[in-house]
């Protein structure tokens, strides 16, 4: 019996109103003021970092393109804040915020983009393409979907070795969810009930391809339900909603796909002028900036004095300037090392990750202990 076809007409057009919950609700998702402030700092840090990268790019310091997460910061930060130290995080290029939340310093990203020898890959790879599985970072590769089965393999190996406490958090986009590898990895993880959370960030566009050209009826939720795993849906611009959904998934265990509705407020990269995104759609998301919303939330109740937020903003800005100046001064790789390190026999050690690791913020470690 076919019981759910033809599908219900999709909600249309896609807009922020459709997914937004009570934006000014008093619910702080069980987090204490210091934890809320950490979230705020991570959001601001993500945005300041990307703004700094854009300026460096325009000044000609960055050889590659710059891919930013403007408008999507809450998804990356909120979801990663629900994970534990030692968990594995597998971000995409727009999930820099998740890496900062999991313990990476912004300095590492600056060095990566600037191709410095001090970067986590010593200049061999760009942007957030770097890994340190022991510290819980499984960096992306450019082929979308390819790392989902790889993360599943990490979790499988962990369980085989008795490391049952490790969970995995992966990100995929509306575009990446069209790949076979994405589903193939998810399916393997579900068969073995591995603790894998996949955040399906629906920003409505894959480079310039609209959601309706990506999935029938533009209905990603329906796609996710077809995978036979736990599915939830959140307002991706609500950092606390992202946090709560991920925390619930982590506590339940097994495989969960969280469809996070959000909007990419910048181009695919700095070279993309978003010409295919209509004025109406942009307008409909204009007052839905995740950082504005969280700031409003924090200021409106009794959660946070305004001066605290201002202080955090100043600290982040000052740190970013210092890191930028430091990274710019650092050297490029030695060209004579270009052939090193393809095989174990001719390896040059990649710089110690201690130089780019600061650890997750202290408040996050209390998330699963209460």
Partner 1 sequence: MTSSFLDAIREALHEEFERDPGLLLFGQDVGAYGGAFGATRGLQERFGSQRVVDMPLSEAAVLGAACGAAMRGSPAIAELQFFDFASCAGFDQIVSVAAKSRYRTGIACPLVVRGPVGAGVRGGPFHSISPEMWFVGTPGLNVVFPSNPADAKGLLKSAIRDPDPVLFLEHKALYRRAKQDPRLGHAAIPLGMAQTVREGSSAVIFTYGAMVSVCVDAAERVEAQRGCTIRIVDLRALEPLDHETILGAVRETARALIVHEGPERGGFAGELTAWIVDRAFDALDAPVLRVAAANTPVPYAPVLEDVYLPGSSDVVSGIERLLDW
Per rule CB under 8 A, is residue 306 in the interface with partner 1? no
Cβ atoms 150, 157 nearer than 8 A: no
Number of residues that bind partner 1 (CB under 8 A): 46
Shortest distance, position 146 Cβ to partner 1, whole Å: 5
DSSP state of 7: P
DSSP collapsed to 3 states, 128-190: CCCCEHHHCECCCCCCCCCHHHHHHHHHHHHHHCCCCCCCEEEEEECCHHHCHHHHHHHHHHH
Task: State which of positions 78-137 bind partner 1 (CB under 8 A).
Answer: 120-122, 124-125, 129-133
CB of 183 to partner 1, least distance (A): 9
What does the per-residue mask of binding to partner 1 show for 328-367, with x meaning CB under 8 A? -------------xxxx--x-xx-----------------
User: Three-class SS string for 94-138?
Assistant: CCHHHHHHHCECHHHHHHHHHCCCCCCCCCCCCCCCCCEHHHCEC
Which stretch, 68-76, 182-190, 242-250, 264-272, contacts partner 1 (CB under 8 A)? 182-190
272 counts as binding partner 1 under rule CB under 8 A: no
Find the shortest distance in angstroms from Cβ 114 to partner 1. Answer: 16
Cα–Cα nearest to 277, from 10, 65, 15, 67 = 15
Nearer to partner 1, 24 or 346 (CB): 346
Q: Cα separation of 74 and 281, whole Å?
A: 19
Q: Does 275 bind partner 1 (CB under 8 A)?
A: no
DSSP state of 309: H
Only segment of 67-75, 180-188, 301-309, 318-326 that touches partner 1 (CB under 8 A): 180-188
Of 51, 54, 65, 187, which lies in the binding site for partner 1, with binding defined by CB under 8 A?
187
The answer for residues whose C-beta is within 8 angstroms of residue 101's C-beta and 6 or more apart is 42, 76, 77, 80, 81, 360, 361, 364
Q: Give the nearer residue to partner 1 in terms of CB position, either 191 or 310.
A: 191
Q: Which residue from 98, 107, 108, 151 is in contact with partner 1, where contact means CB under 8 A?
A: 151
Question: From CA 351, how far away is CA 319, in angstroms rounded?
Answer: 22
Note whether 319 binds partner 1 by CB under 8 A: no
Contact 165, 86 (CB under 8 A): yes
Shortest distance, position 88 Cβ to partner 1, whole Å: 8
Q: Which is nearer to partner 1, 150 or 328 (CB)?
A: 150
The correct pick among 1, 2, 160, 370 for binding partner 1 (CB under 8 A) is 160
User: Interface with partner 1 includes 155 (CB under 8 A)?
Assistant: yes
- Cβ distance to partner 1 smaller for residue 185 or 236: 185
**Nearer Cβ to partner 1, position 20 or 124?**
124
Nearer to partner 1, 13 or 133 (CB): 133
Nearer to partner 1, 142 or 332 (CB): 142
Task: Tally Cβ neighbours within 10 Å of residue 265.
Answer: 19
Long-range contacts of 22-31 (CB under 8 A, 24+ apart): 23/238, 23/293, 23/296, 23/297, 24/296, 24/297, 24/300, 26/301, 27/240, 28/240, 28/303, 29/240, 29/241, 29/243, 29/244, 29/247, 30/370, 31/240, 31/243, 31/363, 31/367
Which candidate, 317, 302, 340, 323, places its Cα nearest to that of 113?
Answer: 323
Q: Which residue has the tokens 């008795």?
A: 162
What is the C-alpha radius of gyration for the chain, rounded to an integer number of angstroms?
A: 20
Shorter beta-carbon distance to partner 1: residue 317 or 350:
350
What angle, rounded to 10 degrees, do the helices at 73-81 and 33-58 form?
A: 140
- Choose between 156 and 357: whose C-beta lies nearer to partner 1: 156
Q: Which of 152, 197, 240, 291 binds partner 1 (CB under 8 A)?
A: 152
Q: Does 184 bind partner 1 (CB under 8 A)?
A: yes
Residues found near partner 1 in the complex (CB under 8 A): 120-122, 124-125, 129-133, 138-139, 141-143, 146-161, 179-181, 184-185, 187-188, 191, 341-344, 347, 349-350
């Amino acid at each position: 019996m076919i019981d759910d076809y033809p599908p219900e007409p999709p909600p249309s057009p896609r807009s922020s109103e459709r997914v937004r919950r009570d934006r000014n609700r008093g619910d702080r998702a069980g987090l204490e003021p210091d934890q809320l402030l950490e979230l705020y700092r991570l959001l601001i840090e993500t945005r300041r970092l990307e703004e700094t990268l854009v300026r460096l790019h325009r000044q000609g310091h960055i050889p590659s393109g710059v891919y930013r997460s403007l408008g999507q910061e809450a998804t990356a930060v909120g979801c990663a804040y629900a994970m534990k130290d030692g968990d594995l995080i597998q971000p995409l290029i727009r999930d820099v915020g998740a890496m900062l939340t999991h313990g990476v310093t912004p300095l590492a990203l600056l060095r990566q983009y600037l191709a410095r020898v001090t970067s986590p890959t010593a200049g061999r790879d760009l942007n957030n393409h770097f890994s340190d599985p022991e510290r819980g970072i499984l960096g992306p590769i450019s082929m979308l979907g390819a790392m989902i089965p790889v993360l599943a393999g990490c979790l499988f190996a962990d369980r085989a070795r008795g490391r049952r406490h490790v969970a995995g958090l992966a990100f995929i986009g509306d575009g990446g969810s069209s790949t076979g590898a994405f589903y193939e990895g998810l399916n393997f993880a579900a068969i073995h009930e591995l603790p894998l959370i996949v955040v399906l960030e629906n920003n409505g566009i894959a480079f310039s391809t609209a959601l309706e050209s990506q999935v029938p009826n533009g209905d990603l939720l329906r796609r996710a339900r077809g995978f036979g795993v736990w599915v939830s849906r959140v307002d991706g611009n609500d950092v606390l909603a992202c946090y709560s959904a991920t925390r619930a998934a982590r506590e339940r265990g097994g495989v969960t796909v969280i469809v996070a509705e959000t909007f990419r407020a910048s181009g695919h990269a700095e070279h993309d002028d978003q010409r295919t995104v209509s004025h109406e759609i942009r307008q409909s998301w204009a007052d839905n900036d995740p950082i504005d919303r969280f700031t409003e939330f924090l200021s409106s109740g009794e959660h946070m004095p305004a001066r605290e937020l201002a202080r955090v903003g100043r600290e982040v800005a000052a740190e970013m300037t210092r890191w930028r100046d430091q990274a710019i001064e650092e050297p490029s790789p030695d060209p004579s090392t270009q052939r090193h390190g393809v095989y174990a026999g001719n390896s040059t050690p990649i710089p110690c990750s201690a130089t780019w690791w600061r650890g997750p913020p202290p408040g996050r470690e209390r998330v699963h202990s209460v």
